[in-house]
Amino acid sequence: MEKTTLRLELPSDPRWINIAEKNIEHILVDHAFCEQKAASSCISLIIQYPEKTALVDRLSPVVTEEWSHFERVIALLRKRGYELGYPRKDEYVSELMNVLKKGGSRDQQLV
């Protein structure tokens, strides 16, 4: 699978580093859960659409990659003496879930 690096459209605000330094535990915990959710989402799609072999073939390595990222972030958390804890409720994700396609065929829901 080809790797792609996306470039930011705007430069990062240099003040961001000061904010990040003061909130590194929260950033790392949030990042760990993002990696976990990415892997879990791919697994869910594989389970829901096992007959779509091209999809399964594309998502399988993504699961491995995202889970390895999760493990690396967990190692960073432990190295700094932090715990993963429980995921926070994310209003943005909740709103996204509200706009998910409901009804229609399985293929329509996938798209």
| Per-residue model confidence as pLDDT tens digits over 15-51 | 888 888 999 999 999 999 999 999 999 999 999 999 9
Residue 57 burial (10 A CB sphere; 0-12, 13-18, 19+): exposed
- Sorting pLDDT into bands at 50, 70 and 90, what band is 111? low
Report whether pLDDT(104) > 90.
no
Domain boundaries, the chain: 22-86
**Concatenated DSSP letters of 48-85:** H-TT-HHHHHHHHHHHHHHHHHHHHHHHHHHHTT----
Least confident of 6-20, 76-90, 94-108: 94-108
Which SS3 state, helix, strand or coil, does residue 92 take?
helix
Of the candidates 32, 21, 12, which has an alpha carbon nearest to the alpha carbon of residue 74? 32
Residue-averaged pLDDT of the chain: 88
Mean pLDDT in residue range 38-65: 96
More confident residue, 72 or 107: 72
